[in-house]
Amino acid sequence: MTTHHNAAFVRTEDAPLMEAPSSQIGLRAWLWKNIFASMADYATPGKAVISLLMTVITIFTAYALIWMTWTLLDFALFSATFFDPEGLKRDACLDEAGACWPYVKAKWYQFMYGFYPPEEVWRVNVCMGMLAIGIAWLVFPLPHRGKVALFMLFAYPVIAFVLLNGMPIEHEGDIGQVVSGVWFPLILAGIAFAGWWLARSDRYGDVVNAMAPALLMAAIVLGIFAGLPLVTMALDLALGTEVVETNKWGGLTITLVVAIFGIVISLPVGMLLALGRQSNAPIIRYSSIIFIEVVRGIPLISVLFFASAMLPYFLEPGVDFNKLLRAMIGVVLFASAYMAEVIRGGLQAIPKGQYEGGMSLGLSFWQQMRLIILPQALTTVIPGIVNTFIGLFKDTTLVLIISIFDLLGILSATLKDPEWSTPTTAYTGYLVIALIYWIFCFSMSRYSVYMENKLDRSHR
Amino acid sequence: MSSISDSDDAVRSERSGLAALVFDAKARSLFFQVILAVLIILAASIAVRNAGANLTEQGREFGFDFFDRPSDIQILTTFGTWLLDYEAGQNTVWDVFLLSIANTLIISVAGVIFATLWGFLLGIFRLSHNFVLNSFATIYIELLRNVPLLLQIFFWTAVLRLVAPGPREEGWLIPGLLNFNSKGIYGPYPLVEEGFSYTLIAFVIACVAAWGFARWARRNQDRTGKQSPVGLVTVALLIGLPTLVFLVTGRPMAIEWPNFVTEGPILRRGFENGIGSYIAPEFFALFLALTTYTAAFIAEIVRAGIQAVPKGQSEAAGALGLPPGLAMRKVILPQAFRVIIPPLTSQYLNLTKNSSLAAAIGYPELVAVFAGTTLNQVGRAIEIIAIVILVYLTISLLTSAFMNWFNNRVKLVER
């Protein structure tokens, strides 16, 4: 090599790079590869038929795509009525064949808040703002996620309830009621303190661990009975909020309330059901299986009918509770059965060695679950949980059948308003509502895909 | 936690009586089971007692005698009313119950068939290298999956109302075959005459013969390696034999065309009721919504199923010299089916359950007409909702039993 170093026939530099053949780059190559390649094979009669078929299907599909895009754009933009400066209402939209945006503007408040009194609407806004911040905090990993998650799971529902519903204390006797209600939680707090003290002492520590489920129940009851009145009292003293009955709630607010309530309650209930289904104890296992399979076998409407028409018969005569609460109970019953199956999938994906490892460390069943099994199982099924939540979010529309005005229900109600009755009002409304649902569901499904990829990578 | 470091025996001997019981896994499990059983029994007995008290307070009683009562509700003409020859006032509540189940089943079966076809097509589009088909399928799936079904049902109802001609007009859906206006879709109705049973018998014979030929062809191929044109023979048998018999027996079928009235009082104009076959617009809207919505989910299942087959399988098929179409049919799809069938089953069940959304637009199926109108009329909430739940459970269990059987047939037999 070195002897020829200066020879004229030895190249001292690289040959110039040639352009890629024009059939491989640029728009033409892309078009060929992605559209025309599948229709260009006429070697045999069979292939020719397939190619011709592909050509017809492609042309038809392209036409359908263009037609749909054009129809949508034409409806939403080009032929639409945007402004109604003179306050003509329906007359402003009658001339055009497109969307009637003034209608959306006029009814936007109802879409968002239903019949919530406008002077109190800041409470809904505060609620939703906290929700948005909380979810953003958990989705984009910011520091102190655990604490924020605990806050969103336990404190936020109470705060949201107090904000949305309100709890007046200016009436006589209300403070008394709240204070007398505190006695019961105080006793529970005493029990919990005793349990905590016992757990710290060496002698009885594992007794407490063995009885963890019972203690957990006590803690939840404590949280509800002690937390609610105390927080309410503090908030009310600070704000002096007024009661807004649930029949005035509506629109996106009620959709979000039902969906969030459903997910927050169905997650722990579903977890218990999934564990129950895997339990060795026959009574626990079979009651879990029967509940899960029955609920999964029937449509949500019949669960809602059950909660709204049949449940009142099973309560003490004269006892009647809120229609919205009944619907939410129905949704929770329904969602927890599906959640249980998702979580069971996660539990089954955990290798047996993990359980055995936990046992060999001397951990009790609930310690194994809390420290080893559930963290892994829940992480692997996050996409499944999100998908269940998407389904739940879409299914909340069914509450309109038992006449609760969720986002779709309020739309149907506003469509009956004669002041805005035009041929295109319904389509405008459906378009807007569909877009709202779509944004929520699509972003959740993207998050689910993102989590799936992220988790998938960690397994390799 | 010093006790963990102690040996188990030492811990156990240290404790006696109650404490020992707490650490006995069996005793603990029994304890929680007894608590659960007691709670369930307690809740059930309280519920039954309250139900009794509530019913006596309202002056009602429990029982299923309402099934014998005559039913005077008007029901939209559908498959169920056709099947049971329903007329308001002439039939009992039991007939209404049966016709509502028939309506649920017909919408479910129609929905399942068309959603499967459309969903498989979309799933294949989604995997296609053709940019147009691929982006169409992607947009379609992402749009429809993420919008509530109920909204889509309302949308299709509104679209049908918009595009349909008025009730006194003779619109054409398929020129010369199907008419279409805002009262529904009208088409020809086959009137069977004497001797048609021979055609049916011929069809059954053709089915058996096709099955037998396919069996023989498979055995023959296993033995000799020779292939037979199974598809062609099957089609020829299934279409040819009944047609031949139909023609030979002298065409024993008349066709009743819908009758379009243009004269007479204005309210009587339009298509005459009860002549020709008829599909209610409510059925059509629900059918469109259920089919297009479920197809989006099925498409994703099909895509995932085909992608789940390792790439080596198609490469191996190519190495054996199988052309792509045959490789798809003989190697990829049979394996993809194993992945596809379980989620497909749950989509079928979802579609059946979602048909209950008809309650919102008035198609008379189980929830709308039985748990809705009939419940309002006879007021037996407990009995009726319990029956509805039982019917759906039966449908679900039967469907999953069938699909499990089918799944076991295509399942991979491992050594």
**Pairing between strand B178-181 and B184-187?**
antiparallel
Q: What pLDDT digit, counting tens, does each position of B46-103 carry? A: 888 888 888 888 777 777 888 888 888 888 878 888 887 788 778 888 888 999 999 9
Q: Which long-range contacts (CB under 8 A, 24 or more apart) does B217-223 make?
A: none
Beta-carbon contacts of residue B203 (< 8 Å; ≥ 6 apart): B238, B241, B242
Contact indicator for A220, A185 with CB cutoff of 8 Å: no
| Phi and psi, residue B174, nearest 5° | -120, 110
Separation of CA B176 from chain center: 31
Of A38, A305, A312, the CB nearest to B371: A305
In the structure encoding, which two tokens stand for residue B209, read together? 């013969």
Could you tell me which of A271, A301, A282 has the C-alpha nearest to residue A388? A271
Do you know the residue count of chain B?
A: 415
∠ CA A450-A453-A456, nearest 5°, is 145
Contact A315 B130 (CB under 8 A): no
User: Which residues in chain B (131-170) have CB-CB distances under 8 A to chain A?
Assistant: 131-133, 135-136, 139, 142-143, 145-151, 154-155, 158, 162
B117 and A CB contact within 8 Å: no
Touching check for B191 and chain A: CB below 8 Å? no
Structure-block tokens of residue B179: 């008419």
User: Mutating which of B121, B131, B348 best tests the A interface, going by the most A Cβ atoms within 10 A?
Assistant: B131
CATH superfamily of B79-188+257-410: MetI-like (1.10.3720.10)
Nearest residue of A to residue B38, measured between CA atoms: A283
Q: How far is CA B330 from the centre of its chain?
A: 28
User: In this predicted model, what pLDDT tens digit does every residue of B241-258 receive, in sequence order?
Assistant: 888 888 888 777 788 888
Checking if the pLDDT of A393 tops 90, the result is yes
Which amino acid is it at A337? A
Most confident listed range (B9-18, B36-45, B113-122, B309-318): B113-122
What's the CA gap between A378 and A369, in Å, rounded? 11
Residue B56 burial by Cβ neighbours in a 10 Å radius (0-12, 13-18, 19+)? exposed
Structure-derived torsion over alpha carbons of residues B81, B83, B88, B89, reported in degrees to the nearest 10: -160
Contacts of B143 in chain A (CB under 8 A): 438
Beta bridge mates, A334 = none
- The number of C-beta contacts closer than 8 angstroms across A and B is 168
Residue pLDDT, tens place only, B296-322: 999 999 999 998 889 899 899 999 998
pLDDT of residue B95: 87
Q: What are phi and psi of A15, to 5 degrees?
A: -65, 145
| CB B193, CB B253: distance < 8 Å | yes
Confirm or reject contact between B389 and chain A (CB < 8 A): yes
Is residue A282 exposed (0-12), middle (13-18) or buried (19+ Cβ within 10 Å)? exposed
Question: pLDDT tens for residues B370-396?
Answer: 888 888 888 788 888 889 999 999 998
Assigned token pair, B278? 């008829």
Q: Where are the domains of chain B?
A: 2-57, 79-188+257-410
Interface predicted TM-score (ipTM) over 0.90: no
Residue B182 clears pLDDT 60, i.e. is over it: yes
Q: How confident is the model at residue A178 (pLDDT cuts 50, 70, 90)?
A: very low
Q: Is B189 helix (H, G, I), strand (E, B) or coil?
A: strand
In whole angstroms, give the CA distance from residue A163 to residue A243.
9
A405: its two tokens: 């005005």
CB contact under 8 Å between B360 and A33, yes or no, is no
Residues 6+ apart with CB under 8 A from B23: A206, A210, B11, B12, B15
Q: Is B278 left (phi over 0), alpha (psi -120 to 50) or beta?
A: beta
